[in-house]
């Protein structure tokens, strides 16, 4: 199926969903503070556009942007360190694996307590949400390098640094980016939860206040903005990935994806 | 006139743990020679290549390259691996320029040198393609070019055409014969294909026994240049029969020994 046809199908299914939603709300006369109809959400989004976009979207975007950037920097540094030194890897890696099983959301209040109710606290919670998937994917990418390829470079007389820069780093990028894509969506959850725990601005704060005031349409409007932001981040990471992994742009890349999925 | 020995193994021992692979092993390959190595799988042919490239070191014995004792051999031998091992994120030209980059040649200069070579390899229009877009035969040609550009006078080819279909394989064999004649490099090729071993080589070395001690060396009595038609000459057929017989004996011998041991 071509891209445009896929797009049309998706658009159609979206319209169908909204139509069904609208119909259910009207037919059963559901009170709008329980489930507002999509038309109500859109009207509310239009009415609130200035505060939503200029104040709250901007605040959340700042938290997500700074949090994700710091997270990538710390996580990649740790992945490099684990790759460079077996002792660091042995000391740290078990905790990184274990940390995947901790419900991170439960730790968020502590982070807010430590880092404060201002921007720093939100950034800390965002880092908490996104750090581990990035470390794991970056490190696994570095580790997954074909040993025969390393040997080939050694027969060419390559030193440790050249093997890292010319082979291990580029070979790890597809792994890294799939982790980053997951982290990009997590970062929005992180920032939202940070805002729930105490804030004076941001889409999470706005949504929580709206639900407290039984303004379900305003809550849904903020959720809509949050999910659009998530889609945008996802798309952005995809674009950056294409820029750095040229092989994904050409024909046979599908085979590789299959291989990754099989692993 | 003494012939310069490009590769010289004298009394080389090598073992993986308890498993002895080579025992006082000798091998000589002269300058400009094409030698095929043939033997049962798992006997240690790839180990032999890793010893020549310097990825492995012998337990005892001497390895000389270009007539000098060489303890540090990494970067001195061109190696064409069994799988092409092209980097999927690099274009054809960038893949081929890899050994030059590693030697410290600036990237632009390296790429310019590669582009000059590509037409000879039938890859001129593919310089900016990615390996995923190439056929198996083209990928092997890129891999070969990469080995040549290492600048080494010795090239090791590890079953270079094993993964190709029959027709492509025959084309590539003829192509490789031309490349050998043009470049004048010393080539050592591992293969499982008896016809391929004979067709390309000046000498076929049969690796048998576990550990390998005395390889059987069989000169190929065919004049050059050779083409596919050589396969029908009586000398070719006789040599093929002889190698086949030797390999069969070696296999029976091994099975018997394993039966006694087990």
Classify domain B5-77+152-261 by CATH number: 3.40.50.300
Q: Find, among B229, B165, B234, B157, the residue nearest to B199 by Cα.
A: B229
Domain of A128 in residue numbering reads as 41-262
Q: With an 8 Å Cβ cutoff, are A247 and B79 in contact?
A: no
Of A148, A154, A247, the CB nearest to B89: A247
End-to-end, the C-alpha distance of chain A in Å comes to 27
Of B85, B98, B133, the CB nearest to A250: B133
Beta strands in B67-153 (DSSP E): 68-69, 78-80
Residue B43: what are its φ and ψ, rounded to 5°?
A: -85, -20
Residue A263 has pLDDT above 70, yes or no: no
> What is the distance in angstroms between the Cα of B45 and the nearest Cα belonging to chain A?
16
Tell me which H or E stretch contains B251: helix B234-261
Q: With an 8 Å Cβ cutoff, are A171 and B75 in contact?
A: no
Q: B238 in contact with A at a CB cutoff of 8 Å?
A: no
pTM: 0.85
Q: With an 8 Å Cβ cutoff, are B88 and A256 in contact?
A: yes
Residue B91 has pLDDT above 70, yes or no: yes
Contacts within 8 Å (CB) and 24+ apart, A252-257: A252/B132, A252/B133, A253/B132, A255/B132, A256/A174, A256/B88, A256/B132
- A153 found inside a domain: yes
pLDDT (0 to 100) of residue B1: 45
**Contact, B148 vs B155, CB < 8 A?**
yes
pLDDT (0 to 100) of residue B4: 81
- A211 found inside a domain: yes
Residue A136 has pLDDT above 60, yes or no: yes
Of A146, A155, A173, the CB nearest to B77: A155
Query: What is the C-alpha to C-alpha distance for residues A25 and A34, in angstroms, rounded to an integer?
Result: 10
The domain tally of chain A equals 1
Q: What is the DSSP letter of A54?
A: I
Sheet holding B203-206, edge to edge: B78-80, B154-158, B186-191, B34-38, B203-206, B216-219
In this structure, of A9-13, A29-33, A122-126, A183-187, the range with the lowest mean pLDDT score is A29-33
pLDDT (0 to 100) of residue A202: 92
Q: B56-87: per-residue pLDDT in tens?
A: 999 999 999 988 888 899 999 999 998 999 99
For residue B72, which residues of chain A lie inside 8 Å, CB to CB? none
Contact pairs from chain A to chain B, CB under 8 Å: 69
Alpha helices (H) along chain A: 3-27, 38-47, 49, 58-84, 86-99, 104-115, 119-143, 147-155, 160-163, 169-196, 203-212, 216-244, 253-262
Q: What percent of chain B has pLDDT over 90?
A: 65
CATH number at residue A223: 1.10.3720.10
- A46 found inside a domain: yes
Q: What percent of chain A has pLDDT over 90?
A: 78
Q: A140-173: per-residue pLDDT in tens?
A: 999 999 999 999 999 999 999 999 999 999 999 9
Query: What is the C-alpha to C-alpha distance for residues A36 and A237, in angstroms, rounded to an integer?
Result: 33
- A25 found inside a domain: no
pLDDT (0 to 100) of residue A10: 93
């Amino acid at each position: 199926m071509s891209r445009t046809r896929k797009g049309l199908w998706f658009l159609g299914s979206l319209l169908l969903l909204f139509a069904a939603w609208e119909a259910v709300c009207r037919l059963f006369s559901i009170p709008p503070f329980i489930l507002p109809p999509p038309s109500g959400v859109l009207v509310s989004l239009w009415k609130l556009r200035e505060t939503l976009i200029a104040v709250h979207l901007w605040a959340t975007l700042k938290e997500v942007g700074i949090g994700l950037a710091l997270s990538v920097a710390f996580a990649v540094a740790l992945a490099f360190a684990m790759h460079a030194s077996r002792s660091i890897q042995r000391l740290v890696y078990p905790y990184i694996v274990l940390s995947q099983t901790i419900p991170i959301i439960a730790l968020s209040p502590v982070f807010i307590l430590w880092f404060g109710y201002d921007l720093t606290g939100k950034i800390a919670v965002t880092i908490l949400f996104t750090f581990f998937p990035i470390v794991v994917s970056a490190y696994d990418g570095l580790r997954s390098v074909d040993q025969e390829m390393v040997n080939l470079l050694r027969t060419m007389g390559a030193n440790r640094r050249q093997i890292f820069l010319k082979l291990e780093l580029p070979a790890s990028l597809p792994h890294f980016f799939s982790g980053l894509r997951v982290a990009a969506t997590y970062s929005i959850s992180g920032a939202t939860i940070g805002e729930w725990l105490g804030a004076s601005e941001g889409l999470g704060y706005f949504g929580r206040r709206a639900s407290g005031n039984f303004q379900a349409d305003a809550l849904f409007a903020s959720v809509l903005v949050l999910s659009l932001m998530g889609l945008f981040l996802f798309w952005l990471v995809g674009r950056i990935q294409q820029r750095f992994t040229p092989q994904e742009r050409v024909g046979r890349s599908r085979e590789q994806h299959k291989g990754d999925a099989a692993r | 006139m003494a012939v310069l020995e490009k590769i010289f193994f004298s009394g080389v021992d090598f073992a993986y743990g308890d498993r002895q692979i080579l025992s006082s092993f000798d091998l000589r390959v002269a300058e400009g020679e094409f030698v095929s190595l043939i033997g049962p799988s798992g006997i240690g042919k790839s180990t032999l290549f890793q010893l020549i490239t310097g990825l492995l070191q012998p337990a005892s014995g001497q390895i000389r390259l270009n007539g000098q004792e060489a303890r540090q051999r990494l970067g001195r031998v061109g190696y064409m691996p069994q799988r092409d091992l092209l980097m999927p994120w690099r274009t054809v030209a960038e893949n081929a320029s890899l050994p030059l980059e590693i030697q410290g040649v600036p990237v632009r200069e390296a790429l310019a040198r590669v582009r000059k070579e590509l037409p000879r390899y039938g890859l001129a229009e593919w310089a900016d393609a990615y390996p995923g877009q190439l056929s198996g035969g083209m990928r092997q040609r890129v891999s070969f070019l990469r080995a040549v550009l290492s600048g080494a006078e010795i090239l090791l080819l590890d079953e270079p055409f094993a993964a190709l279909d029959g027709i492509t394989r025959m084309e590539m064999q003829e192509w490789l014969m031309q490349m050998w004649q043009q470049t004048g490099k010393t080539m050592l090729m591992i293969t499982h294909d008896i016809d391929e071993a004979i067709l390309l080589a000046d000498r076929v070395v049969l690796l048998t026994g576990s550990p390998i001690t005395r390889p059987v060396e069989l000169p190929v009595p065919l004049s050059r240049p050779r083409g596919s038609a050589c396969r029908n000459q009586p000398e070719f057929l006789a040599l093929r029969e002889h190698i086949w017989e030797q390999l069969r004996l070696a296999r029976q011998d091994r099975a018997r020994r394993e039966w006694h041991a087990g």
